[in-house]
Amino acid sequence: MDTRTYSPHIVKYIPFLYVVWADDLLSASEISVFKKAVTEDHLSPEEKKLITSWLNPKTPPADEVITSWKHLIDKSGVKLVESETYPLTSFSMKMSLPGHGEEELSDEKLKFIEINLGIQPNHYRHLFDVETQQVPKANFYDPAKIDAVLKGPHASYIDTFREFLSDPAFQWKISRDKDTFRPRVLEQVKLLASAGYGAMAYESRYGGIDNMPAYAGIFENLMFIDGSLTIKFGVQFGLFGGSIQNLGTKKHHDQWLKATGEGTLLGCFAMTETRHGSNVRGIKTTATYVRETDSIVIDTPGENDNKEYIGNALHSTMATVFAQLIVNGTNQGVHAIVVRVRDDDGNLIPGVRIEDNGYKLGLNGVDNGKIWFKNVSVPRENLLNRFGDIDKDGNYTSRISNPNKRFFTMLGTLVGGRICVAKGAVGGAKLALATAVKYALHRRQFNSGEKIQEDLIMDYPSHQLRLITPIAQTYVYHVTLEHMIRQYTDASETSRRKIETQVAALKALITDFSNKTIQECREACGGKGYLLENRIGDLKNDVDIFTTFEGDNTVLLQLAAKGVLTDFKSEFNSDSYGDILKLVGTQLGDRLTTFNPLFTGNTDKEHLFDPDFHLETFQYHVRRLTFTAASRIRRYVKKGIPPQQVSLNIQTHLLALGRAYGVMLSYEIFSGFVKTLEDEKMQFIFRKLGALYALHHIREHAAWYLEHGYISGAKSKAIRQRVERLCTELRPHVVSLVDGFGIPEHCMTAPISTN
Amino acid sequence: MDTRTYSPHIVKYIPFLYVVWADDLLSASEISVFKKAVTEDHLSPEEKKLITSWLNPKTPPADEVITSWKHLIDKSGVKLVESETYPLTSFSMKMSLPGHGEEELSDEKLKFIEINLGIQPNHYRHLFDVETQQVPKANFYDPAKIDAVLKGPHASYIDTFREFLSDPAFQWKISRDKDTFRPRVLEQVKLLASAGYGAMAYESRYGGIDNMPAYAGIFENLMFIDGSLTIKFGVQFGLFGGSIQNLGTKKHHDQWLKATGEGTLLGCFAMTETRHGSNVRGIKTTATYVRETDSIVIDTPGENDNKEYIGNALHSTMATVFAQLIVNGTNQGVHAIVVRVRDDDGNLIPGVRIEDNGYKLGLNGVDNGKIWFKNVSVPRENLLNRFGDIDKDGNYTSRISNPNKRFFTMLGTLVGGRICVAKGAVGGAKLALATAVKYALHRRQFNSGEKIQEDLIMDYPSHQLRLITPIAQTYVYHVTLEHMIRQYTDASETSRRKIETQVAALKALITDFSNKTIQECREACGGKGYLLENRIGDLKNDVDIFTTFEGDNTVLLQLAAKGVLTDFKSEFNSDSYGDILKLVGTQLGDRLTTFNPLFTGNTDKEHLFDPDFHLETFQYHVRRLTFTAASRIRRYVKKGIPPQQVSLNIQTHLLALGRAYGVMLSYEIFSGFVKTLEDEKMQFIFRKLGALYALHHIREHAAWYLEHGYISGAKSKAIRQRVERLCTELRPHVVSLVDGFGIPEHCMTAPISTN
């Protein structure tokens, strides 16, 4: 075949054809996109026939034909400019019409193919001669618009706050010595308080704006400054202030909330004990009501029953202490009491002992301490009495008679803290990803041996998988948490039950995700990622503990699974599997285990991108795991197996259910959100991020889906390939996607993110 | 059914029957174990008939029968003592023959069932009333004997060395400030050198014992002291000393090796540059021979072409500098030259600039620095000339004419460093696992609501999966590396080619494993794991960079894959896929893709434990990935796709192949080693560890095996269940297994590992 005889109409398609046949990139629906463009183009019937003949997957062009295209391309001397919005169209038109001006070289048909096929420079850059670029990026998407979507209704608060963070007091630096790091963080907390940020979630009479979602938003942004600051801020205003706000009543609010928000009253949240972390109901500290003095006496019974890891412990004047409340000799369960631990001069109150917890892996700007109480007496009024009180006659009263329910109602009001922890984890992932992406866009390593310039590491498929997949997850989790914080804020006490279950799953899922992501970012930056100056190291160490505090992830996932099993109706943590069965019993129908057989073998692109397919798949996973867990429980209960043994037998099953539920929930929220986006272009990229999230997670559990015949082997392979393909399709927009996180320039201080 | 009518012969089987039917624990081969014991027991035909009737999986006992057994057990008042070697046998005999003495209560049939079924207290502890224990452990295996197996032929060196580490100079403490940490580590290195440990791998005339395997053994043990010490030790004696030993000739050895081993001459290994890490061939530093002065001039061309991350840079007098050697205007490729960087007073040589790399995530006791050279002249003799030399007439000579081959031959001699890095990673995993296991054996959380004592966290299935699976992997990798270091030491120059490929895969696999394991240990210890005093934090941060240095894991896996593709014949890193094809072409037969169809659906225990099944499975994985990679390359080459584009297209494929190869290789070595163990009891537990390793890895890639029809869905599920089951079966021996690592008591300093 003589290549010189091709008309310009044919020539303009040749780079596309070459790229398409250089690798087996296209599915049937994609071939038809190509054909459609050719059919509708202004070509002669012979030209259409020839091009179409090269588009039949059953009779692909011969190797010689493909090689002849390559010669034609090489001979043309045209160079590929990757940073153009439509690089392949531009290349093809230059080749087809040499010597023509920029304006004439646009071609709508080619653009249509290029955008709809999602073939990207990564698929073909070494097929062509590439024009050397220093900063290769596409600016198809405006990061500010993406950021606006993420900020949502509280954009103005976030913008003002980000600006506020440019204060030199917040400039990040390496801090190794806790004794200088902690005072610095304390000053930062006070500075934030003085500007009103601490009180944002409180009512206006206490200095706030009663806006929990906005508070959660700024909380996440604090991670761009420093993890220790974020956590100390959260302890002071969210945990200590939040306990007064949510567990106390007006007398407590009036007394303490304003000063707490202003940072003039520092407090801590003393729940965890050395021997009891996850099992809070088992804590040993006692709060005994003494009628004679109308006071409550706080006591640490054994040497190892002290409070531990209490953030802000070395700076606090007050502590919200969780203890077994004993009234008239009866243990009424765990309650919270506000206890003064230091006097106005900062000296410990007699009977209180506080020790530094010492150096930790991260968060060394937070003063964690151990606290012991030896018969410390506080007024009866210090009991945070929203859900249980001691009346002036010394009798215990509560409007919630079931002690189990009462306990979980109290804990439930603190669920905002778990949402904030997850938001902080997302903030950490964002900063790490933005840093790693910026580095990958100027770091080059290896070349073809012929070219002088080495490849950007961002152009390696493994690097794209490593960084772009978590970028998609970050978007999904951001949207999910924004939704949850609004739900939580608006919820009634009863609907909070469901939200708690959901948050339990999400906190576990997201903090685990964030840790893995920051680790990937460290490795993706090689030795540079290991230098503290580049921030990823501290992010890694700070976020690490997010998987443990505010509820250990393993425990939370089981809590979530029990919620799913009982359709969110029962008390959490119920050890009675008989009770669970009663609630779940009616659901054990076929409905739980059927699925659409048409999905099983469908490997076409359209289908793999279909949110309905993703949703149905995640829902099937949850339904099926629910059904099998319930069936197992039923069998055990029939045989009289004790509850704790049932727990052990099905523990890993519940963990899988909790995780599957979290993934499903996130995707439900995200895909619902995407539908509400009015800008079509924005909706397009968000849908793509959602598809990558979904296919990544289906791929993670592919073995399970295969075992159950839900997907075929061919489909499993197709999903794996689609995940890689999607990463490549998002590659040109990767700068916009990380800039869309809205991290202020004054926070992007890692040298590798700027050089 | 009236339970009171059972004879003692029946009663003694009831706890076993109850346990067996309480969960669906048994496969067909296990039921037959039970039946065999019953058949051979001294029972009446009626008794045998009754018990056997309860052992038919097709007609399991009715729920009422099972419940009646439970009543009988509860009524007996017998308590389970988990720490007994055969707890269920002992329980059953006490129930069968109340009031009898210890000796009479042994029963060989029950013991036979208990040991062969592998049912463990974890499966049934809550079915019975449990006697409270403070330190529950079985001492069925003697840790010292396990340790002896691991130490192998260099036991005496290791033992002496461990004793030496009790010197107070090695006592671990928290070190935050690099300026006090580094001198301390330097003193420790000198102390080790003065005792002869630095020179162990050198010949006796240079103060050594010419024993590389023993050197690697003590290197691993150094991780029990501190990561910084391990790495600085490795830089001084392994990298700097190793470069003189392996790349230099006798004149260099005579001049420097003794002083290096004694620690009186400190040196560094200057290869990596700021802009070139993975792609060493691309480094920019030049070494230009100047005939007039018969000297070599070292120069850093651009500001960012400096050497970076050079360990020991701030303490060194000499540096082995890797640079492009230019002789008579011709670049002869990368060579190593010994360059003096400081005078005897510690002042920098004119033209040399060294800067501190600053704080890192970990290893802050190592003085990493950046080095620039400005026309620094050294004598011609300082060229390490084993593989390439400049003669006295100023001409370049080498017995290896292919520059590519010459370069990789030079690098190949440094492969010992990669083995040591992997050994260090294994040492880190051992210390973290031992610490986490000790904690899990006294940390309790949650109970059944009826019992006072909470469950040990070691008894939760998720905790067993998390800790016992990596313990099995640690054993496999220990044995693998011991084998590799011996192979490496004994190898000829040509067979080293294969070893380099193998080590590339193993270094990547094992350092990645170690990081993940230490992370699991941190989380498994909750907040306590986050405190630096408990050591896991520093291990995490120190080992983190092992995935990057001495070869980035992503790059190494591709290197390994190319080695596999070419059957270890070609030069590494060849960019010519045409060359690869020539070598692999002959292998593209059916042999590569066939498998034994009898394996596909077999879910029986015997089969799942069969090393032949494991090996065949791993080999199939490697064969199949090799075949498909080669097929893809063939297609691309036919179409004229340039090599670098082929690289990108198949990159993730090669990564999968590299990993699969590493897993196969480890298991081949380990299963071969287990056969050589003479003690049958020891062989039994090592086989179990091997089975857990194998099934864990098959499970990790279950989606792939399912896609290819290699295993059925039912088998995939069975494998998942077997992994959990194996963890539980190893649970009673978990203390022996971590004590078997041989970590000296003076190194187990974490408070949580002792309290």
B598 Cβ neighbours under 8 A, 6+ residues apart:
none
- C-alpha distances (whole Å) from A67 to each of A3, A145, B631 are 11, 44, 18
Q: How many CB atoms lie within 10 A of CB B31?
A: 15
CA distances from B365 to B188, B268, B360, B514, B654 (A): 11, 15, 10, 21, 36
Q: Which one has a higher pLDDT value, B188 or B595?
A: B188
Q: Do A360 and B547 touch (CB under 8 A)?
A: no
Q: Residues of A with CB below 8 A from B126's CB?
A: 641-642, 644-645, 648
Tokens 């304006």 map to which residue? A103
| pLDDT per residue as tens digits for the range B323-353 | 999 999 999 999 999 999 999 999 999 999 9
A272 contacts chain B (CB < 8 A): yes
The DSSP-derived string for A96-139 is: HSTT--TGGG--HHHHHHHHHHT--HHHHGGGSEE---SS----
Whether residue B546 is predicted with pLDDT greater than 70 in this model: the reply is yes
In this prediction, residue B585 has a pLDDT band, given cuts at 50, 70 and 90, of low
* Residue A378: strand pairing partners: A296
Cβ-defined contact of A359 to B176 (cutoff 8 Å): yes
Taking the Cβ of residue B459 and every Cβ of chain A, the question of whether any pair is shorter than 8 Å is answered with yes
Could you give the angle at the alpha carbon of A579 between the alpha carbons of A576 and A584, nearest 5°? 125
pLDDT higher than threshold 60 for residue B450: no
Quote the pLDDT of residue A214: 97
Interface of A with B in 106-165 (CB under 8 A): 122, 124-127
- Write the DSSP string, A463-474: HHHHHHHHHHHH
Tell the burial category of B71 from Cβ atoms under 10 Å away from its Cβ (0-12, 13-18, 19+): exposed
Q: Is B34's pLDDT higher than 80?
A: yes
User: Are B717 and B637 contacting, i.e. CB atoms less than 8 angstroms apart?
Assistant: no
What pLDDT sits at residue A216?
Answer: 97
pLDDT computed for residue B572 by the predictor: 45
Residue A429 parent element (H or E): helix A415-440
Best of B525, B649, B655 to mutate (most A CBs within 10 Å, chain A):
B649
Average pLDDT over residues B580-593: 63
CA distance B510 to B501: 14
How many whole angstroms separate alpha carbon A312 and alpha carbon A365? Answer: 10
Question: What are phi and psi for residue A613, nearest 5 degrees?
Answer: -65, -45
If one compares B485 and A122, the residue with the highest pLDDT of the two is: B485
Residue A1: predicted pLDDT: 44
Tell me the percentage of chain A whose pLDDT exceeds 70.
94
pLDDT in tens, A68-98: 888 888 888 888 887 787 888 988 988 888 8
Which residue of A231, A280, A644 to mutate against B (max B Cβ within 10 Å)? A644
Q: Which of B84, B221, B105 is nearest to B157 (CA)?
A: B221
Q: Would an 8 Å CB–CB cutoff place A262 in contact with chain B?
A: no
B277: nearest CB among A523, A527, A544:
A527
**Under DSSP, is residue B79 helix (H, G, I), strand (E, B) or coil?**
strand
What is the per-residue burial (b if ≥16 Cβ within 10 Å, else e) of B78-107? bebbbeeebbbbbbbbbbbeeeeeeeebeb
Reply yes or no on whether the pLDDT at B98 is more than 50: yes
- Residue of higher predicted confidence among B262 and B65: B262
Residues A322-367: tens digit of each pLDDT: 999 999 999 999 999 999 999 999 999 999 999 999 999 999 999 9
Which of A127, A713, A716 is closest, CB to CB, to B645?
A127
For residue A661, give how far its alpha carbon lies from the nearest alpha carbon of chain B (Å).
18
Among the partner residues A174, A649, A706, nearest to B703 by beta-carbon distance? A706
Q: Pick the catalytic residue: A550, A668, A678, A707? A: A550
**Which ranges of B525-650 would DSSP assign to H, the alpha helix?**
526-530, 536-544, 553-565, 577-584, 605-608, 611-638, 643-649
**Shortest Cα–Cα distance, B108 to chain A (Å):** 28
From chain A, the residues in CB contact with B279 under 8 A are 445-446, 454
Q: Nearest-5° angle of CA A553, CA A556, CA A559?
A: 155
Name every chain A residue with its beta carbon within 8 A of the beta carbon of B532: 358-361
Taking every pair of Cα atoms in chain A, the longest distance, rounded to a whole number of angstroms, is 108
d(CA B614, CA B694) in angstroms, rounded, equals 6
CA distance A719 to B499: 36
Of residues B614 and B84, more confidence is placed in B614
Helix (H) or strand (E) run with residue A156 in it: helix A155-164
Residues of B tagged active-site: 550
Q: Is A57 on the interface with B (CB under 8 A)?
A: no
Q: What average pLDDT does the structure give for chain A?
A: 91
Query: Mean per-residue pLDDT for A601-607?
Result: 90
Residue B262 CA to residue B240 CA, distance in Å, equals 13
- The pLDDT tens digits for A479-512 are 999 999 999 998 877 788 889 999 999 999 999 9
Name the helix (H) or strand (E) containing A148: helix A143-151
Residue B591 near chain A (CB below 8 Å):
no
Tell me the pLDDT tens digit for each residue of B510-539.
Answer: 999 999 999 999 999 999 999 999 999 999
**Domains annotated on chain A, with CATH:** 3-130 (no CATH), 146-262 (1.10.540.10), 267-411 (2.40.110.10), 415-747 (1.20.140.10)
CA distance A326 to chain B (A): 19
Q: Which residues of B touch A545 (CB under 8 A)?
A: 527, 530
Per-residue pLDDT tens for B295-308?
Answer: 999 999 999 999 99
pLDDT at residue B499 in the model: 93
- Tell me how many residue pairs between chain A and chain B have CB atoms under 8 A apart: 255
ipTM of the complex: 0.92
Confidence of residue B575 (pLDDT cuts 50, 70, 90): low
- Considering only CB atoms, B360 lies closest to which of A448, A531, A717, namely A531
Element (H, E) at A290: strand A286-290
Please give the pLDDT value at position B495: 80
Shortest distance, CA B231 to any CA of chain A (angstroms): 15
The tokens describing A164, both together, are 């506020």
Kindly state whether B498 is in contact with chain A, defined as any CB-CB distance less than 8 angstroms: no
Which chain B residues are closer than 8 Å to A455 by Cβ? 644
Q: Give the pLDDT confidence of A103-113 residue by residue, as tens digits.
A: 677 788 888 88
B564: number of Cβ within 10 Å: 24
Out of B127, B178, B708, the one facing A645 most closely (by C-beta) is B127
Specify burial of residue B249 (Cβ count, 10 A radius: 0-12, 13-18, 19+). Answer: middle
What percentage of residues in chain A have a pLDDT greater than 90? 68
pLDDT tens-place string over residues B393-424: 999 999 998 888 898 888 887 799 999 999 99
CA torsion sign, A640 to A643 to A649 to A655?
positive
Query: A727: which chain B residues are within 8 Å (Cβ-Cβ)?
Result: none
DSSP H/E element including A714: helix A713-730
Please answer yes or no on whether A642 and B127 come within 8 Å at the CB atom.
yes
- CB within 8 Å: A703 and B708: no
Instruction: Provide DSSP, B630-675.
Output: HHHHHHHHHTT--HHHHHHHTHHHHHHHHHHHHHHHHHHHHHHHHH
Express each pLDDT in A621-680 by its tens digit.
999 999 999 989 988 988 888 888 888 899 999 999 999 999 999 999 999 999 999 999
pLDDT at B468: 98
